[in-house]
Chains A and B, each alone.
Chain A
Amino acid sequence: MRALIEFQQVCKYYHMGDSTVTAADHISFQISKGEFVAIVGSSGSGKSTCMNIIGCLDVPSEGTYLLDGRDVGEMNKNKLAEIRNELLGFIFQQYNLLPKLNLLENVEVPLMYAGVGKAERRRRAMESLERVGLEDKWKHRPNQLSGGQQQRASIARALVGRPAVILADEPTGALDSRTGREVLALLQDLHAAGNTVVLITHDNSIAVQAQRIIRLEDGRVVYDGPSDAPEAVVIPRAARAKGGAAL
């Protein structure tokens, strides 16, 4: 079976003044359709870079990223925008709902850019809101809702375009633990319904909710395997040895 997301020796360099920072250092992995994967790492591990590349917000400096078999590195900005619209659903830590629009209008935005007609847009956005249990709040503005409700609305927005990948960047980061658990349960429901979910987090306790964990450190993959293996949550010896040496 062809991988939905395929990283082949992906590197990303940032130039800061005279020095060059390597944010991703020959990262390779594959994610298949229907998987629930957590990309874990501490700050500076390269997980944000990974998420930007997976989300087609950025392109690799070196290596190849294939999304659904298409080489993203070769695409121009407009094509990238199209790919984001068609294949990706974003869930952000800060919800990122548009404050001047009500929930229904917020959920409609991706469909608007996809060129879906108004009536169809309404219907699908409403459906999506029903799925996250906010159908009776469609008229509310984001600031009239709690954090958990806002995050659910942003999940509804991520779902509405029926994307191939749902990309969640620290989705529980701004929530208390109870509502955080609710949101995670919702993500698990989506996975159970056959969606591919990629979760980016620094928090092991959240990462273990996924099926599979890809652990990054200093821009490299240090673990890639099932989340229930003991190595998944402990810092690998090699990295510890390296960290120790650095000290």
Chain B
Amino acid sequence: MSILESLELALKNIVSSKTRTLLTMLGIIIGVAAVIIIVGLGNGLEGYVTDSFSDLGTDTLTVSVMSRGATRTIDVEDMYGIVEENSQYLDLCSPTAGMMASVKIGSDTTSTSVSGVSEDYLAIKNYTISKGRNLQYSDILQRSRVCVVGAYVDQAYYGGSAVGQTLRVGGTSLTIVGVIEQQSESLEEGGADDCLFLPYSTASRLSGQISSFVVTVRSEDTLNESKTALENALYSFFESDDFYTVTSMAQMLETMTSMINILVCVLAGIAAISLVVGGIGIMNIMLVSVTERTREIGIRKSLGAKERYIMQLFVIEAAATSALGGVIGILLGYILSSAASVVITRAMETTLTVAPTLGAVLLAFGISVGIGVLFGYLPAKKAAKLNPIDALRYD
């Protein structure tokens, strides 16, 4: 008797007792669906984080310097010098001066974020100018009272014609010379497009402190070497590593991703417990089924079934039940994943998609078949070992 014929018999048996099979499979269905959803959620989260971080630029290094209370600090010229010296690794550089100042447009006070930057900043961040012009080196030198604004400011306060208008930052009047192309999908207050950039030299006159520098690397492949070079240069400048920290977006991304992965593994592990419980359920039912089918086993044995055929019959039935549960679980997992994507997108206004991977699906299916074989083995062994005389007499 071939495996295929055993499978056919097993499927016949499964079909003939649908309710019982469904109840038997329930544990596996829930387990597989849970694993798929959790892994999918993890993937979605990872994708979301990756996207957010790559918007910030994975080819950039950020040097944070202690601006207050430090005995040593680095000025912009020195920083440019360091970048110049390491030009085989480092490319563009811009200081960023964070400002607490509020922005007044007409009589409105806005929550727009204000930063003092160099003319290279927009290039570093991959921002493009949609109207007007970028900040220029001459603006930096002359401490010009100019600024570029995000698309939100342009649309919300000027109806799309911000260039040439003026606004006030901390009491100083600035002329808008350019508008940055829209970054996020929708314009909203406090979002990525609600921003204003002015020359860092102007900013420092308006009480802005240079708190960090963004530096781009020549190649993402040599990110780590570039980081080391920058750190070495800073160390020899400060003669201590207490006054600065260098972080790379790629490293932060890596850290975040591995944290998400650990979280997903732990959650999937918990969900996998339900697979084991499901397997025990299958074993239970198979044991009952062996008892119920004792007479059938006796008949088959009297007709010449060897022990291994009886084994095969029950192991394959357990595996088929489990695999069928796996398939239903996969479908359920997909359906719930799509539903979760919609719900999360609606509720949180983000674009997080719950996307199960093919690998997770195949793994879940493989595990469910494996569980069937594993937990079907004991009942099958019991069936195969039955004495045909006793089995034939069994009522």
Q: Which A positions have Cβ atoms within 8 angstroms of B? A: 52, 55, 57-58, 77-78, 81-82, 84-86, 90, 92, 96-98, 100, 109-110, 112-115, 157, 161
Contacts and interface: CB of A to CB of B under 8 A. Distances in A.
B389 to A, nearest CB: 5
B304 A84 contact: yes
Given A96-B295, A100-B16, A157 B388 contact: no
20 contacts: A52-B389, A55-B302, A57-B392, A58-B389, A78-B306, A81-B304, A82-B304, A82-B306, A84-B303, A84-B304, A86-B304, A96-B295, A96-B392, A98-B300, A109-B300, A113-B303, A113-B304, A113-B309, A157-B303, A161-B304
Contacts of A78: 306-308
B302 A113 contact: no
A81 B1 contact: no
B13 A109 contact: no
Given A98-B296, A100-B16, A113-B1, A57 B388 contact: yes
Given A92-B392, A112-B5, A113-B1, A84 B309 contact: no
A85 B298 CA distance: 13
Looking at B304, B308, B388, which has the most chain A CB atoms within 10 Å of its CB? B304
A219 to B, nearest CB: 17
A81 B388 CA distance: 10
Interface string B376-388: 0000000000001
Given A81-B304, A82-B304, A96 B388 contact: no
Interface in B291-330: 295-296, 298-309
Contacts of B1: 112-113, 115
Contacts of A57: 301-302, 388-389, 392
Contacts of B13: 100
Contacts of A114: 304
A71 B308 CA distance: 23
A90 B303 contact: yes
Nearest to B300: A109
Contacts of A77: 306-307
Interface in B267-297: 295-296
B20 interface: no
A236 B299 CA distance: 36
B334 to A, nearest CB: 33
Interface of B: 1, 5, 12-13, 16, 295-296, 298-309, 388-389, 392
A168 B342 CA distance: 68
A115 B388 CA distance: 21
B304 A96 contact: no
Contacts, number: 59
Contact of A110 (B298, B304, B308): B304
Given A58-B389, A157-B303, 12 more contacts: A81-B301, A81-B304, A81-B305, A81-B307, A84-B303, A86-B304, A90-B302, A90-B303, A96-B295, A112-B1, A113-B300, A114-B304
Nearest to B391: A57
Given A57-B388, A100-B12, A81 B5 contact: no
A199 to B, nearest CB: 17
A12 to B, nearest CB: 11
A96 B297 CA distance: 11
A110 B309 CA distance: 12
Closest 3 CB pairs of A and B: A85-B304, A113-B304, A81-B306
A117 to B, nearest CB: 10
Looking at A55, A85, A96, which has the most chain B CB atoms within 10 Å of its CB? A96
B5 A84 contact: no
Contacts of A109: 300, 303
Contacts of B12: 100
Contacts of A100: 12-13, 16
Contacts of A90: 302-303
A7 to B, nearest CB: 18
A110 to B, nearest CB: 5
Contact of A85 (B299, B303, B307, B389): B303
Contacts of B296: 98
A54 to B, nearest CB: 12
B336 to A, nearest CB: 35
A125 B289 CA distance: 28
B303 A110 contact: yes
B240 to A, nearest CB: 81
A92 B392 CA distance: 10
A115 B309 CA distance: 12
Nearest to A89: B303
A77 B302 CA distance: 11
A161 B304 CA distance: 11
A50 to B, nearest CB: 13
A108 to B, nearest CB: 10
Nearest to A112: B1
A84 B302 contact: yes
A141 to B, nearest CB: 11
A92 B303 CA distance: 12
A84 to B, nearest CB: 5
A78 B12 CA distance: 26
Nearest to B302: A90
A165 to B, nearest CB: 13
Looking at B296, B300, B302, B306, which has the most chain A CB atoms within 10 Å of its CB? B302
Contacts of B298: 96
A243 to B, nearest CB: 28
Contacts of B389: 52, 57-58
A96 B308 CA distance: 21
Nearest to A84: B304
B301 to A, nearest CB: 7
